[in-house]
């Protein structure tokens, strides 16, 4: 019987190594582009968590109270449900010591009381990057749009390395859109149905096209269904910057155009598949410009493996006097990525130990001295704890996939040598002490 609560992932040692390797790839790429590491507490004040999307966010939050005292003991803080809200609070608390634009990465678990399904959990790890800056001027198009492109390429490069190592180069595409283009297009419909149209569009890749059309027909006229279908099937090169005399449209178009221009410069080898996609909206409403989703080309049902977008006035909903911070951020859904990897492979390596030292009671002092030399050289070692039969000690190394066994018994000591056995090939080599 499994005792742990459902949909709160836990890994075997072999699976944990996969998780750690994926996390290491993400961290290395984030650091390579100058993002600084931060960490925030697992809890945030309720006033912060509920400052935006209060009712909807409240449905997802795990509240805290003393079990013996009951709900009347509810605390004024709760577990955070994402890393963007804590980051906004962090910026306000540390603004006097931060250098802007501030580039941060944060890899931590979050908890949400949402419906669990394939690749979705109540506790999961996110790996966020954001750039935030002080924005006190009005811009015709978004400020620092280079960062929208840089973050896109950082994420694409990171995912490319992960799928190359673990998923046989499984093809994926970064889908990019802009909230201003969406606002322009949906402004022609009855404002009462716009939220429902947004929600339906957000489900576009999770339902069939026939279902999409049928659900549209329940909200708008057949003529409007045709307009929406035409819009979702449009490609960016078919849009005209002068298509309409509308500032919102032009702003959205020019922002996408500028971001893609920077992306072309950063992706000159054309390694990554990137498309403009009118169906990408992102559910959280703090996004105001560029929005992104990343999907596997052959597994839309899994959902996005990374997503993000641009936001203006990120901190203003926490403190209205501090409404001048804007930025762009993205997250790789680390737990979902690991879930998919473990669906496709059964990891066998349970340790990062490179060398197992055989335990001989008559030479144990020399064995430990040699093991310390290996450790000081940066090697990962393990000493077998007791003088069991050699077969049992070798079987232990074999079961844990430890690639090398070091043998220093009385015979080797007399000859001032020790042996290293390659557990894969069975070959042994002698090394002088």
- Which residue is associated with the tokens 């924005």? 135
Contacts of 179 (CB under 8 A, 6+ apart): 252, 281, 287, 288, 289, 290, 291, 309
- DSSP letter assigned to residue 117: B
- Do the annotations mark residue 287 as ligand-binding? yes
- Do the annotations mark residue 130 as ligand-binding? yes
309 forms bridges with which residues in the sheet? 291, 329
- Do the annotations mark residue 89 as ligand-binding? no
- Which residue is associated with the tokens 């940066």? 378
3-state percent helix, strand, coil for the chain, nearest multiple of 5: 40, 20, 40
95, 1 Cβ separation under 8 angstroms: no
44 forms bridges with which residues in the sheet? 78
- Which secondary-structure segment (H or E) carries 114? none
Q: What is the CA radius of gyration of the chain?
A: 27
- Do the annotations mark residue 120 as ligand-binding? no
Cα separation, 355 vs 423, in Å, equals: 10
- Do the annotations mark residue 33 as ligand-binding? no
- 49 φ, ψ (degrees, to nearest 5): -65, -30
Cα torsion 371, 25, 164, 340 to 10°: value is 100
- Do the annotations mark residue 210 as ligand-binding? no
- 197 φ, ψ (degrees, to nearest 5): -65, -40
Cα separation, 315 vs 86, in Å, equals: 10
Q: Sheet of 381-383: strands edge to edge?
A: 381-383, 355-357, 404-407, 417-422, 428-432
- Do the annotations mark residue 126 as ligand-binding? yes
- Do the annotations mark residue 98 as ligand-binding? no
- Do the annotations mark residue 112 as ligand-binding? yes
Contacts of 313 (CB under 8 A, 6+ apart): 288, 323, 324, 325, 326
249, 226 Cβ separation under 8 angstroms: no
Residue among 300, 309, 318, 366 nearest 178 (CA): 309
Q: Binding site for L-histidine: which residues?
A: 82-84, 112, 126, 130, 282, 286-287
Residues in binding site: 82-84, 112, 126, 130, 282, 286-287
């Amino acid at each position: 019987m499994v005792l742990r609560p459902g949909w709160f992932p836990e890994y075997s040692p072999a699976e944990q190594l996969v998780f750690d390797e994926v996390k290491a790839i993400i961290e290395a790429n984030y650091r390579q582009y100058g993002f600084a590491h931060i960490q925030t507490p697992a809890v945030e004040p309720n006033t912060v968590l509920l400052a935006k999307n209060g009712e909807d966010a409240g449905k997802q939050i795990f509240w805290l109270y003393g079990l013996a005292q009951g709900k009347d003991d509810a605390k004024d803080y709760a577990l955070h449900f994402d890393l963007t809200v804590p980051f906004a609070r962090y910026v306000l608390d540390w603004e006097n010591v931060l250098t802007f634009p501030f580039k941060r990465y944060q890899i931590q678990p979050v908890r949400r009381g949402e419906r669990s399904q394939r690749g979705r959990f109540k506790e999961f790890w996110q790996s966020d990057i954001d750039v935030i800056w002080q924005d006190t001027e009005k811009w015709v198009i978004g400020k620092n749009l280079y960062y929208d492109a840089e973050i896109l390429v950082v994420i694409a490069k990171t995912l490319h390395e992960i799928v190359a190592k673990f998923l046989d180069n499984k093809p994926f595409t970064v889908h990019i859109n802009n909230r201003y283009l969406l606002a322009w297009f949906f402004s022609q419909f009855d404002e009462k149905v716009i939220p429902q149209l947004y929600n339906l569009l957000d489900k576009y890749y999770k339902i069939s096209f026939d279902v999409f059309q049928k659900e549209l027909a329940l909200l708008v006229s057949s003529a409007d269904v045709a307009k929406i279908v035409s819009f979702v099937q449009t490609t960016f090169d078919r849009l005209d910057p002068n298509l309409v005399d509308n500032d919102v449209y032009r702003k959205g178009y020019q922002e996408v155009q500028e971001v893609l221009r920077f992306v072309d410069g950063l992706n000159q080898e054309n390694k990554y598949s990137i498309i403009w996609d009118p169906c990408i909206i992102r559910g959280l409403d703090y996004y105001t410009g560029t929005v992104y989703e990343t999907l596997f080309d052959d597994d839309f049902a899994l959902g996005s493996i990374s997503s993000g977008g641009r936001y203006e006035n990120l901190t203003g909903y926490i403190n209205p006097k501090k409404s001048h911070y804007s930025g762009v951020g993205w997250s790789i859904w680390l737990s979902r990525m690991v879930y998919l990897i473990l669906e496709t492979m059964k990891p066998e390596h349970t340790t990062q130990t490179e060398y197992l030292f055989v335990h001989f009671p008559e030479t144990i002092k020399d064995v430990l001295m040699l093991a310390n030399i290996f450790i000081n050289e940066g090697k990962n070692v393990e000493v077998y704890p007791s003088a069991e039969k050699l077969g049992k000690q070798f079987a232990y190394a074999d079961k844990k996939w430890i690639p090398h066994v070091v043998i220093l018994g009385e015979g080797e000591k007399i000859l001032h040598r020790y042996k290293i056995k390659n557990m894969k090939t069975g070959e042994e080599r002698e090394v002088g002490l």
